[in-house]
Amino acid sequence: MGPINWVAVILAANLAVAVGIVWHGPLFRTGRPLLEGSGGPAKSYGVVVIVMLIAAAMLGHSLARIGPETLHAKPWLYFMQSGGLAIAFVMPAVWLSQARHGMAVRDRLIDCGFWLVAYLVMGTTFWALG
């Protein structure tokens, strides 16, 4: 197992938040922030950054377990790991929880798409800094 690239973890998390700001703002104009809350925008984005840091740290741990030699020989594993986590775990959880709360299919597709892109951006960050 190689070491976790903590610089990549921090950068990946912040880039994922930036994707979310653009995704829900100018790109799709959902009118919904990344996290709705009564604590104001600073507290809401703080929570989003923490969640993304946890996700990026787990991805970084997964990539460290694969090891730098294998990742160098098979760079597509960065994207298989990051996209696979999004497709297999995050997107179904988002889809089902939003369906349970009666959200429109369009909103579920937008949110699931965001998580896929956010995880692929995180994978790309680890690849670029690997």
pLDDT, one tens digit per residue, over 22-69 is 898 888 877 676 666 555 555 677 888 999 999 999 999 999 999 999
Q: What is the mean pLDDT of the chain?
A: 90
Helix-then-strand count for the chain, H and E: 6, 0
130 confidence band (pLDDT: 50, 70, 90): confident
Residue pair 123/82 in contact (Cβ under 8 Å)? The answer is yes
116 confidence band (pLDDT: 50, 70, 90): very high
Number of neighbouring beta carbons within 10 Å of residue 34: 24
Q: Is residue 1 part of a domain?
A: no
Structurally, how many domains does the chain consist of? 1
pLDDT at 25: 81
Helices 105-129 and 91-100: crossing angle in degrees, nearest 10, is 160
Q: Is residue 44 part of a domain?
A: yes
Domain interval for residue 101? 6-129
Residue closest to 58 by CA, chosen among 38, 36, 81, 80: 81
Residue 11 has pLDDT above 90, yes or no: yes
Q: Is residue 58 part of a domain?
A: yes
Residue closest to 114 by CA, chosen among 43, 54, 48, 41: 48
